[in-house]
Structure formats: C-alpha cells, structure tokens
Amino acid sequence: MKVTIIYDNTAARYDLQADWGFAALVEVRDAPKILFDTGANGRILLSNMKKLDIDPKSIDEIFISHAHFDHIGGLSEFLKVNPKIDKIYVPSSLGFKNEVILKEPREVHENVFSTGELDGIEQSMAVKTDKGIVLIVGCSHP
C-alpha cells in the first residue's frame, strides 16, 4: 500500500503548494488507483499532482469523505482532466455522476473498505495490509 499526500494545509516539499484542504492518492495492490478527496482548489490539486509525477488520467476512482468544500472543491477541475472516472464513492449527503452512495460499511475492493456514512456527514476508508488496518480520514468530524 502507498499513500501520497497531494494536498494539505502544510507541504513537506518546498515546490508543493499548501492550502486549506486535503487530497491523497491511495494505491493498494490489486485495486484501482483511488483519489481520496480533492482539496479546495482544482488548480492547486492538479499542479501538485504534476510536481509529484502523478498523471490524473491514471486515477480510476474517487473516494469523497464528506461535503465540505476543502475536500470537494477540486473535483470539477479534476474531472475536466479525467472525465473517465469509473466510480465516485460518496456519503449519502452528496450526489455526483457515477456515484456509489455508501450509507453502510462496505468492501469496495479487495482489502479496501468504506466505514459507511458516520453521523450522516462523513465516511472514511480502511485498507487491510499485511501490517494491519490503515484508516484514511478526511476531517474526523464524527
């Protein structure tokens, strides 16, 4: 498993732009490449992806944690570059094209799970690895 932080309030590299929000690329063996959230600004998201040598067209699916703008603001710009996204996993409080609404916990791919929508606002992703469970969260509002 590999998680690459693309968009965050702070940046570990001087060439990446920090901004309020979050996005990460989640790569799990034998699963599609998943973009977890999209940050607040599509221009910053795509710029940071380019600097990290991540091709937006190589991403297969999107997993949205919750409806706050700093987690979905970059979605429309991203979909202009990669309109062929197979699925967008969203909590039931959202609705998008190609959506898979997740109210209850569910396995979305082998070893990749959604917690389902927690307290009606947010979901998290869990990945089962050889070393244990890795939980990827947006804001942890619930």
pLDDT one-digit tens code per residue, 60-75: 999 999 989 999 999 9
Q: Above pLDDT 70, what percent of the chain?
A: 97
- Kindly indicate the confidence band of residue 95, based on its pLDDT and cuts at 50, 70 and 90: low
**Distance, CA of 84 to CA of 107 (rounded, Å):** 22
- pLDDT tens digits along 119-136: 888 999 999 999 999 999
Please, what sign has the CA dihedral across residues 9, 12, 14, 15? negative
pLDDT of residue 98: 57
State yes or no: pLDDT of 101 exceeds 90. Answer: no
Tokens of 110: 């082998």
- Taking phi over 0 as left and psi of -120 to 50 as alpha, with beta for the rest, 116 belongs to left
52 pLDDT higher than 70 = yes
